[in-house]
Amino acid sequence: MANNDLSLIKRISAPTPRIFKITRNVGLSLAAIGGAIIAAPAMPLVLANIAGYLTVAGAVMTTISQIAVEGN
């Protein structure tokens, strides 16, 4: 089956290349760190903004890395 013919569900459940597994884990870590900083009480506004960017960047990295599939 060619990679261009995969539906979204099949693409997500297909095997992921090693480099994208590493990238996915880094993205998950960034999102978790950003979420933890956002949840902390009484922090400066600059730190909250940086944490928001970390969370978004981590979520995007994770999503893009998860839908990458190995070529045949």
Per-residue pLDDT of the chain (72 residues), as tens digits, is 455 677 888 887 888 899 999 999 999 999 999 999 999 988 899 999 999 999 999 999 999 998 888 875
In the 8-state DSSP scheme, what is residue 44?
Answer: -
The reply to whether 71 falls in a domain is no
Domain count, the chain: 1
The reply to whether 72 falls in a domain is no
9 lies in which domain range?
Answer: 3-66
- Which residue is listed with tokens 């978790």? 32
Please tell me the predicted confidence (pLDDT) of residue 3: 57
The Cα 35–Cα 15 span in angstroms is 28
Please tell me the predicted confidence (pLDDT) of residue 8: 80
The reply to whether 55 falls in a domain is yes
Please tell me the predicted confidence (pLDDT) of residue 34: 95
The reply to whether 48 falls in a domain is yes
The reply to whether 34 falls in a domain is yes
Burial class (CB in 10 A: 0-12, 13-18, 19+), 30: buried
Q: What is the pTM of this model?
A: 0.78
Cα 16 → chain centroid: 13
